[in-house]
Chains A and B, each alone.
Chain A
Amino acid sequence: MPKKKRSLLQIPQGTESFYLEDAYRHRKLVERVTEQFYRWGYLPVQTPIVDYYDSYRSLLTENADRGIYRLIDRDGELLMLRSDVTLFLAKQMGMILKSEELPVRVYYADTILRHEAADDISQNEFFQAGIELIGREELEGELEVLGLLQETLATLGARNTVTHVGTRKLTAGIRARLGESAERRLVHAVIMRREEELAEILADYSTKQREAYLSLFRYIGNASGLRVLRETVAKELGEEVTSALLEIEHVFAVLEELNLVDCFRVDLSEVGNQPYHSGMVFQSYMHNVAQPIASGGRYDGLLARFGLDAPSVGFACMLRRVEEQLDARTQPGQISGIEPFATAQGESFVERFRTARQARGQGESIVL
């Protein structure tokens, strides 16, 4: 194939173009979601598309680091393209906010760029819409974010979704005893539900403690099942773990009062895949989507890295993954305007122009 033609046909890995009806629907959904965020009291922020790589280096997992596009500026400084809005936002907020301004609620809706293997079409994670609630330490922070997440998914028309809630606090005691490197291995083994590897990492613990941890990390269910499990493991795993589990029970009790609990599950294998997660974490799943459609949680130490020691909780919704599953014709609250446009009738251009102007005045979309 001629070189010129090939370069025209190729699209760089990790980027995406979408057009016409798809692009219109995307913009409408973004409008709808951001309007929702605003109604909850969140204000927009715009993060830069590039920033200095060194600012984020220690906060990147090995996988995230591999996927980053890097470039060198004219002064020889190493830059990175925005691959995760949360990190860029943490730096911006950490630098400009003052503690007396808290709590602060912000939202974003931005493209991200990261390398993906040529066959890795399942990721489709090129656009994140999300929120951060900064400065709210109590569990009401988690509850606000979970409530807003659920409303956001409903606003998108995403049906057959469920959000799994766990906590990074379960591994804090293990980090204190075995070190950060063992905790990193453990977190990966928990997320991938690898019990043999978990047992190996926890070899220093007594058999009863090890079994207690394993039963926790495999648990998926409701809050009443969690209560039974907590009572069983409390003696073996102590105050820190018990209190983390009680927090989840409390959150689920409130979700039940709000009639939202059916959209959530307790899942203690959700421990958060980012090094900066520090408390409750969650991921949302949708029928027929091979990846989580939203994820989030608490990261109380993240902003401190950039100058503001403030707690933070938030989520990011991978909008493009959801969009692919939406059918505008069948979803409730369908997006108008992506049906074929009507054509203005009239003998002359002037007549058609006037007819169209009148129709548009009545809220119709019409072409000349």
Chain B
Amino acid sequence: MNTTPATEPLTMAVPKGRLLDQTIEFFESCGLSFSFEKRSLVAHETSGLLKLILVKNSDLPVYVKHGIAGMGISGEDTLYESGTEFYQLYTFNFGATHMCLCCREDYDPSMDQRQLAVATKFTRFARDYFHGQGIPVEIIRLGGSVELAPVLGLAPYIVDLVETGSTLRANKLKVTKTLAEIQVRLICNPAYYKLHFDRINAFITRLQGITTLEMPKNE
């Protein structure tokens, strides 16, 4: 078969930050260890199976879509906002969180206008969710610190990821409704999968083996 040499490592984009630490920890439990060069954004798995490329979370789907990295690890929230469909090959048992509708603790829902005003980073998700429910919605796009919007009076509601709820409590906000459970997925560019399916499947089997042995409830 005239495809990539089997010696070339599989490429995977991983988001910098919290998910990176959890990913490395999980991979280590599968017997995969990585050598990071100082300040480098590329890491190699010591046996040559994987090459990790560290990217900004929101840019990750772009790198995988364009085939710069064949695979990637990403939350469903980021995937949804990218608007791109990927193969979703595996669900990790770490990093799960919730997409929630939140408002001030003292907010009275009877104050709601006919059209809901929502501030969020997740504009595509919010629009599709409320339209799916038949609710007209005004979306205000924010880049960060979304919890300030209800506090400062920009919008009564926010749609944001909630993990422990401590940021909400610190800003005197509460969850009104959980809109979706968000999980962390291993994604793959479909064309990349077709060219490397046997090695990718073997890699997934290795991950599943670990999950089955150690964490049977989550997979």
Contact = CB atoms under 8 A, between A and B. Distances in A.
Interface string A276-316: 00000001010111111000000000000000000000000
A193 B195 contact: no
Nearest to B197: A220
Nearest to A120: B65
Contact of B3 (A162, A194, A267): A162
B194 A164 contact: yes
Interface string B48-76: 00000000000000100111000000000
22 contacts: A119-B62, A122-B66, A122-B67, A160-B2, A162-B3, A193-B87, A193-B193, A262-B1, A267-B194, A283-B194, A285-B191, A285-B194, A285-B195, A287-B3, A287-B4, A287-B195, A288-B67, A289-B191, A290-B66, A290-B67, A290-B191, A290-B192
A164 B62 CA distance: 25
B208 interface: no
Contacts of A291: 191
B187 to A, nearest CB: 11
A162 B87 contact: no
A121 interface: yes
B158 to A, nearest CB: 26
A290 B65 contact: yes
Interface in A146-179: 159-162, 164
Given A285-B195, A290-B189, A290-B192, 19 more contacts: A117-B83, A122-B65, A122-B67, A160-B4, A162-B2, A191-B190, A192-B87, A193-B89, A220-B194, A263-B2, A283-B194, A285-B194, A289-B67, A289-B191, A290-B66, A290-B67, A290-B191, A291-B191, A292-B191
A291 B192 CA distance: 8
Main secondary structure, interface of B, reads mixed
Interface residues of B, number: 21
Interface in B108-151: none
B88 interface: yes
Contacts of A265: 1
B65 A162 contact: no
The binding surface of chain A is classed by DSSP as loop
B25 interface: no
Contacts of B181: none
Interface in B1-18: 1-4
B72 to A, nearest CB: 13
Contacts of A262: 1-2
Nearest to A218: B201
B70 to A, nearest CB: 9
B85 interface: yes
Contacts of B2: 159-162, 262-263
Contacts of B4: 160, 287
Contacts of B190: 191-192
A263 B3 CA distance: 9
B201 to A, nearest CB: 9
Contacts of B62: 119
Contacts of B193: 193
Nearest to B66: A122
A160 B3 contact: yes
